[in-house]
Amino acid sequence: MTAPAVILSRPQLGENIGAAARAMKNFGLADLRLVAPRDGWPNEKATAMAAGAADIVEAARVFESTADALADLQLVLATTARERGFAKPVLTPPAAATRLREATASGHKTGLLFGGERSGLDNEEVSLATAIVTIPTAAFASLNLGQAVLLVGYEWFKAADQTPSVQLEHGPLAKAATVEEMQHLFAHLEDELLKSGFLYPSDKAEAMMRNIRAMLTRGDFTDQEVRTLRGMIVALTRGKHRKTDATK
């Protein structure tokens, strides 16, 4: 079973990256991915703070964008405490851990997405996720990055003996679509919607497309279903052209 990747988007302090790596080591997580760390990479402060988890820091991969960091994953849970207006499932850490265990038991590649210390995740990043994880707190909802990784990592580790035996919900030969495959679908759909005039007015197009992406990510599509959807888009646009030609 492959443990979830931990993706830190635009982390600021090396010490917080090191603390996150240390939390990962405590609870059996090893795949650390960094998106545009503010102070560059490698970072000596991250290595020093990681202590016994220096191997995780040294093996960390750096990406220019969040979409690139998530590209090979099939289930992504984004951690955020703020209301986003997306119709996405909102999970507690225990529920998130169960969802991750079920997905990994089915052979899916999964990830936990955390935002930077200053402003967390932006709406574009949240739209890439399958669901949202919110950590319940008292009056003050702000958590240190390392603390957030620790809490969710602990729930992942604790859920090891609670996960029921599961069967691939899409059948033995199907696999869930990756973030990259979904991104190609979104780009294809957006291109055709722009050509058709659906994304109107232009100043609303970005928000409309973001909501469409959020709606589609809830579909939990297989790679074959994504190919089918793209084929449908092609067929519909070709059919439109054929009809137009026939009336000339």
Q: Per the structure block, which two tokens stand in for 26?
A: 């405590």
Q: 154: domain CATH number? A: 3.40.1280.10
Instruction: Name the band, by pLDDT with cuts 50, 70 and 90, for residue 23.
Output: very high
pLDDT score recorded for residue 81: 78
The answer to whether residues 42 and 105 belong to one domain is yes
The answer to whether residue 57 sits within a structural domain is yes
Give the residue, 162 or 124, on which the prediction is more confident: 124
Q: How far apart are CA 156 and CA 93, in angstroms?
A: 8
Q: 221: domain CATH number? A: 1.10.8
Instruction: Name the band, by pLDDT with cuts 50, 70 and 90, for residue 119.
Output: confident
The answer to whether residues 91 and 39 belong to one domain is yes
pLDDT score recorded for residue 87: 73
Containing structural domain, residue 239: 179-246
The answer to whether residues 16 and 78 belong to one domain is yes
Instruction: Name the band, by pLDDT with cuts 50, 70 and 90, for residue 137.
Output: confident
Cα angle 29, 35, 41; round to 5: 90
Instruction: Name the band, by pLDDT with cuts 50, 70 and 90, for residue 245.
Output: very low
The answer to whether residues 77 and 153 belong to one domain is yes
Please give the average per-residue pLDDT across 125-152, as a whole number.
89
pLDDT score recorded for residue 156: 95
